[in-house]
Amino acid sequence: MKPKIETCLSPALLHLYDVSDSIVVIIDVLRATSTISAALYNGAKYIIPVAKVDECIQLGMELNAITAGERDGQIAPGLQYGNSPQDYPRSFIENKILVLTTTNGTKLLHMSLQQNAKEIITGSFANLNSTVKYLKSSGKNILLGCSAWKDKFNLEDTLFAGAVVEQLKDDFIVDCDASKMAQALFDDTKGNIFAYMQKKAANHYKRLMGFDLETDLNFCLEYNKADCLVIYKDGKLVKGSF
Amino acid sequence: MKPKIETCLSPALLHLYDVSDSIVVIIDVLRATSTISAALYNGAKYIIPVAKVDECIQLGMELNAITAGERDGQIAPGLQYGNSPQDYPRSFIENKILVLTTTNGTKLLHMSLQQNAKEIITGSFANLNSTVKYLKSSGKNILLGCSAWKDKFNLEDTLFAGAVVEQLKDDFIVDCDASKMAQALFDDTKGNIFAYMQKKAANHYKRLMGFDLETDLNFCLEYNKADCLVIYKDGKLVKGSF
């Protein structure tokens, strides 16, 4: 029997899914998982995702690492860098350790751990290809986990889930309405995510535009700009090979 | 300033919305709110929605009322009738009281009450016109509340939310991603909900088809088959006028 693919639209719904036998894909397109992809693609040694700002500062000192993170879309006080993929070019991040805290993505990752997820990876349009290839080759059940915005549904994470379902639908059982909706929504974009988000004036798109972050949005809503597999292992996000 | 329209995709997300200043529209297309509409349209005196089966039996005896309800899509043991709109033709239900308990819709209604909803109405494709007209004339904030399936997202309730957003978008502020998604999804149906549900093989559609309830599905997925306004007032669902 084929493995199944399901989509969870908000961390507040995660408890409805048994993830003990699934790969959970943490999706936080604007911008945590796009930035994670960029940093690892550009040679970061590894990334430690933490829940709280003070934990981030403490661990940064212990490991002599870069500390970064945002709250409500702005650099959190006490941290060095923000949550922009552009903050992490190779010239800066190569061979460095990054300790990162974000509003929604980190939270979902830790919740998945608590629910004993069999395996955790992170996904974004920046690493769509590698994510899809890995999931396809795994033969395991998949839960696409949208980080949402303070638990409220968002378009960008759902569109990414839809892009994954679109590419995996022949090899997996797609029997959940959320996955079907995500796929229909992705089809509706005709492949141009940026234009779609602009047209729909999605909430977080507008928020970031308000912070003058159009270049970030371009990066996060294009395909495969930092294409590598991102796996969570022993508390660290690392570039995976397969 | 225009009032706003938001969409809540699951009872498990209701706590994220302040409904104290909103009309909450309880949506449970398959089949609670369609059946409620049918019974009131056909002359039922009023309907009392209750959470539990034993409460339904007790109240039915006290009021000499019809008791009805389902659990997991089947007539609940101890009750007289199920949750099919066809069970309530005028010849049977006129001037009678109905005590009804359902899996998802009743639950969301009681949660909305606990969260001090300003006003509660119920909506379904069967009473789309009246629902939209009333909401438009109200000038109040709206929360479209999808009953979902055991808290999991479903297509049919979201499609109804989308149909409402589509008709109200010029008179309300639509600034929530869930409403935008619902509208895009509804647009995708090209107006034929039944065909769309069939094509997508939506979860609850398949479940009811398995129970041989195609006629029910036809009723519930067509427009304005029992077009009346349904308002919740003092513990009762009644046919409203405006």
**What is the spatial distance between Cα A222 and Cα A202, in angstroms, rounded to a whole number?**
16
What share of chain A has pLDDT > 70, as a percent? 100
Q: How far is A89 from chain B (nearest CA, A)?
A: 32
pLDDT of res. B201: 85
Q: How confident is the model at residue A208 (pLDDT cuts 50, 70, 90)?
A: confident
Q: Name the residue in chain B with its Cα closest to that of A9.
A: B153
**What is the spatial distance between Cα B63 and Cα B60, in angstroms, rounded to a whole number?**
5
pLDDT of res. A209: 83
Dmax over CA atoms of chain B, in Å, equals 51
The mean pLDDT of A39-45, rounded to a whole number, is: 98
Q: Name the residue in chain B with its Cα closest to that of A150.
A: B16
pLDDT of res. B205: 81
- Measured torsion, CA atoms of residues A82, A161, A127, B177, in degrees rounded to the nearest 10: -30
* pLDDT at A12 > cutoff 80: yes
- Whether residue B185 and residue A181 make contact (CB cut-off 8 A), yes or no, is yes
Interface test with B, best of A15, A18, A104, A181 (most B CBs within 10 A): A181
Q: Name the residue in chain B with its Cα closest to that of A154.
A: B177
pLDDT of res. A193: 96
Q: How far is A50 from chain B (nearest CA, A)?
A: 24
Q: Which residues pair with B207 in a beta bridge?
A: none
- CB of A9 within 8 Å of any CB in chain B? yes
- Residues in A closer than 8 angstroms to B187, CB to CB, are 188
- Whether residue A151 and residue B13 make contact (CB cut-off 8 A), yes or no, is yes
A124-174 confidence digits (pLDDT tens) = 999 999 999 999 999 999 999 999 999 999 999 999 999 999 999 999 999
pLDDT of res. A201: 85
- Residues in A closer than 8 angstroms to B153, CB to CB, are 9, 13, 176-178, 181
Q: Helix, strand, or coil here: A56?
A: helix
Q: How far is B195 from chain A (nearest CA, A)?
A: 15
DSSP assignment of A63-90 equals HT-EEEEEETTEEPTT-SB-S-GGG--H
Kindly tell me the burial class for residue B207, based on how many C-beta atoms sit within 10 Å of its own C-beta (0-12, 13-18, 19 or more). middle
* pLDDT at A86 > cutoff 90: yes
Q: For every one of its 242 residues, what pLDDT tens digit does chain B have, with 9 covering 90 and above? A: 899 999 999 999 999 999 999 999 999 999 999 999 999 999 999 999 998 999 999 999 999 999 999 887 678 899 999 989 999 999 999 999 999 998 888 889 999 999 999 999 999 999 999 999 999 999 999 999 999 999 999 999 999 999 999 999 999 999 999 999 999 999 999 999 999 999 998 787 888 888 778 899 999 999 999 999 999 999 999 999 87
ipTM of model: 0.95
pLDDT of res. B89: 96
Would you tell me which residues 157-196 of chain A have a C-beta closer than 8 angstroms to some C-beta of chain B?
158, 175-178, 180-181, 184-185, 187-188
Angle at which helices B155-168 and B128-138 pack, to 10 degrees? 50
* pLDDT at A180 > cutoff 90: yes
- Whether residue A203 and residue B178 make contact (CB cut-off 8 A), yes or no, is no
Q: How far is B179 from chain A (nearest CA, A)?
A: 10
The gap between the terminal CA atoms of chain B, to the nearest Å, is 23
Interface test with A, best of B143, B152, B175, B190 (most A CBs within 10 A): B152
pLDDT of res. B146: 98
- Residues in B closer than 8 angstroms to A197, CB to CB, are none
Q: Helix, strand, or coil here: B206?
A: helix
User: Residue-wise over A14-31: b if at least 16 C-beta within 10 A, else e?
Assistant: beebebeebbbbbbbbbb
What share of chain A has pLDDT > 90, as a percent? 86
Strands B229-233 and B236-240: antiparallel
pLDDT of res. B95: 98
- Residues in A closer than 8 angstroms to B197, CB to CB, are none
* pLDDT at A204 > cutoff 90: no
Q: Helix, strand, or coil here: A165?
A: helix
Q: How far is B111 from chain A (nearest CA, A)?
A: 16
